[in-house]
């Protein structure tokens, strides 16, 4: 249809309330009902043609690294400049803005910087387009990061940064107590018993993670379940959380709260509160992301534990634990103009050289596997091998379309069990039921 006709329809659409608009728009723009989804998913060449200016919608980057990278791109692509649209700091608000943008079909956002867990939801709602096969160098990337970017066999976003949980431990105290970094939760507790008897460890607590009721709790909860050999959902997204393994996992942490292995106030910890506690020297062990490494090693007096800690892979119930996967992917919005430019830009951002730059300047973990062996990087980030192991063994959080409901249900179950309001058994039974309901929503 001509632009004129398009405009007419657009004008008419404003006066139809929202939902009606969405239907009309969907039928106009997608040109297909629900039945023709397979064709749509496979077709790529026609939609990756346009070239010209694009935008990158992303949470703010105060390091200024993004500006530098964009300047570099813009100076070599004067006709295909990228403008950065800075979204709010909170991940929830970023997601909201991206969804609004998609539902308005506005095309204001071309490339989206998405949290890994949004991939399934954005793909299933056709808010983002599948990336053409063979364009993104997935072979060079850590496998779990590629899996997390894939929905029903198609790659929908390019893994850009990654993240995995690490067990931070007080090297100095463990050495004094003659203990090795623990492989299991029980070992960790035993080590603590020894360490906490040391005079230097007066007033300290054993362990903390992120236990406040927010996304971080879903991350930690998944690790409790996976670390005990259980799973939250299976490959097809069916809930599998009401199992003896899962119960053992959650119960260990609920008990740890009860007996003081985990301090009471840890129920209010997000990343930052936990980091403060660790830096003040209140914790022997701390489950945390790599970002804490540089900050806790700061020599400006803010950290009392600078140089006194190291990292190990997360422990589990009977052996090494399993981290949840974090990180960000770049995707192309369905309504973006100039998709060819957008694709080139994504390839540019995720190439090895730029990932390395990014790691050096922001200490954000790369998805490129080779960088974890890079000598220069290893000198600055000695934890890279541990992190690589953590990411390689990582399980994504449930890849379900209604992720918002799934994560709320997980938080509810975990928070109830950890704060002692519900028994782990009851919490998981209820979670199983809720997750089954989420799938049908």
Helices 424-440 & 403-418 angle (0-180, nearest 10): 170
Interface with other proteins, residue 3, by CB under 8 A: no
Size, binding site for other proteins by CB under 8 A:
89
Decide: residue 379, CB within 10 A, 0-12 exposed, 13-18 middle, 19+ buried.
Answer: exposed
Q: Specify the DSSP class assigned to residue 133.
A: T
For the bound state, the minimum distance from the C-beta of residue 264 to other proteins, rounded and expressed in Å, comes to 7
Work out whether 27 is an interface residue with other proteins (CB under 8 A). Answer: yes
Residues 255-274 that bind other proteins (CB under 8 A): 264-265, 267-268, 271-273
Mark 287-326 with x for binding to other proteins (rule: CB under 8 A) and - for no binding: --x-x---x--x-xxx------------------------
Residues 391/148, Cβ–Cβ less than 8 Å: no
Q: 156, 126, 169: which is closest to 37 by C-alpha?
A: 126
Contacts by residues 152-155 (CB-CB < 8 Å, ≥ 24 positions apart): 152/41, 152/123, 154/41, 154/123, 154/130, 155/130, 155/131
- Residue list 115-174, contact with other proteins (CB under 8 A): 123-126, 151-152
**What is the C-alpha to C-alpha distance for residues 177 and 172, in angstroms, rounded to an integer?**
9
53 near other proteins, judged by CB under 8 A = no
Looking at residues 62 to 121 of the shown chain, list those that interact with other proteins (rule: CB under 8 A): 62-64, 67, 84-93, 95-97, 99-100, 103-104, 106, 108
- Is residue 367 at the binding interface for other proteins, with CB under 8 A as the rule? no
Per CB under 8 A, 31 contacts other proteins: no
Pick from 226, 248, 251, 275: which binds other proteins (CB under 8 A)?
A: 275
User: Residues 320 to 349: which contact other proteins by CB under 8 A?
Assistant: none
What is d(CA 226, CA 92) in angstroms, rounded to the nearest whole number? 25
Q: Nearest 5°: phi and psi at 343?
A: -65, -45
Task: Give the nearer residue to other proteins in terms of CB position, either 184 or 423.
Answer: 423
Q: Return the number of the residue (67 or 137) whose C-beta is nearest other proteins.
A: 67
Three-state secondary-structure class, residue 152: coil
Q: How far is the CB of 424 from other proteins (least distance, A)?
A: 17
Specify the residue for token string 């997608």: 30
CA 35 distance to own-chain centroid: 32
User: Residues 374 to 433: which contact other proteins by CB under 8 A?
Assistant: 401-402, 404-405, 408, 411-412, 415, 419, 421
**214 lines the binding site for other proteins (CB under 8 A):** yes
């Amino acid at each position: 249809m001509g632009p004129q006709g398009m405009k007419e329809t657009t004008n008419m659409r404003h006066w139809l309330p929202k939902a009606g608009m969405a239907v009309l728009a969907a039928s106009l723009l997608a040109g297909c009902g629900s039945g023709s989804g397979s064709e749509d998913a496979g077709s790529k060449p026609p939609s990756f043609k346009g070239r010209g200016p694009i935008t990158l919608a992303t949470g703010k980057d105060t390091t200024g690294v993004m500006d530098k990278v964009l300047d570099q791109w813009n100076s070599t692509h004067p006709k295909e400049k990228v403008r950065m649209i800075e979204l709010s700091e909170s991940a929830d608000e970023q997601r909201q803005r991206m969804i609004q943008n998609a539902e308005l079909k506005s095309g204001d956002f071309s490339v989206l910087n998405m949290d890994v867990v949004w991939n399934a939801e954005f793909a299933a709602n056709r808010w983002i387009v599948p990336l053409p096969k063979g364009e993104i160098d997935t072979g060079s990337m850590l496998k779990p990061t590629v899996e997390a970017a894939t929905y029903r066999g198609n790659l929908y976003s390019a893994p850009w940064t990654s993240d995995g949980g690490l067990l931070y431990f007080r090297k100095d105290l463990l050495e004094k107590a003659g203990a090795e970094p623990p492989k299991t939760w029980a070992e960790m507790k035993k080590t603590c018993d020894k360490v906490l008897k040391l005079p230097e460890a007066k007033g300290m607590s054993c362990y903390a993670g992120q236990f406040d009721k927010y996304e971080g709790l879903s991350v930690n909860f998944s690790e409790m379940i996976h670390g005990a050999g259980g799973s939250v959902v299976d490959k097809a997204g069916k809930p599998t959380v009401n199992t003896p393994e899962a119960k053992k996992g959650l119960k260990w942490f609920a008990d740890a709260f009860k007996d003081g292995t985990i301090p009471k106030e840890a129920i209010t910890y997000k990343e930052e509160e936990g980091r403060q506690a660790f830096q003040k020297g209140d914790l022997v062990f701390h489950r945390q992301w790599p970002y804490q490494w540089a900050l806790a090693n700061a020599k400006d007096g803010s950290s009392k534990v600078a140089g006194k800690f190291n990292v190990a892979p997360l422990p589990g119930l009977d052996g090494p634990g399993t981290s949840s996967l974090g990180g960000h992917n770049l995707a192309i919005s369905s309504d973006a103009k100039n998709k060819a430019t957008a694709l080139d830009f994504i390839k540019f951002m995720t190439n090895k050289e730029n990932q390395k730059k990014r790691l050096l300047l922001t200490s954000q973990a790369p998805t490129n596997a080779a960088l974890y062996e890079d000598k220069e990087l290893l000198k600055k980030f000695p934890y890279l091998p541990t992190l690589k192991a953590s990411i390689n063994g990582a399980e994504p959080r449930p890849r379900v379309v209604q992720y918002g409901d799934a994560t709320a249900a997980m938080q509810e179950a975990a928070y109830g069990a950890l704060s002692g309001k519900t028994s782990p058994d009851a919490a998981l039974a209820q979670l199983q039921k809720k997750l089954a309901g989420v799938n049908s929503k």
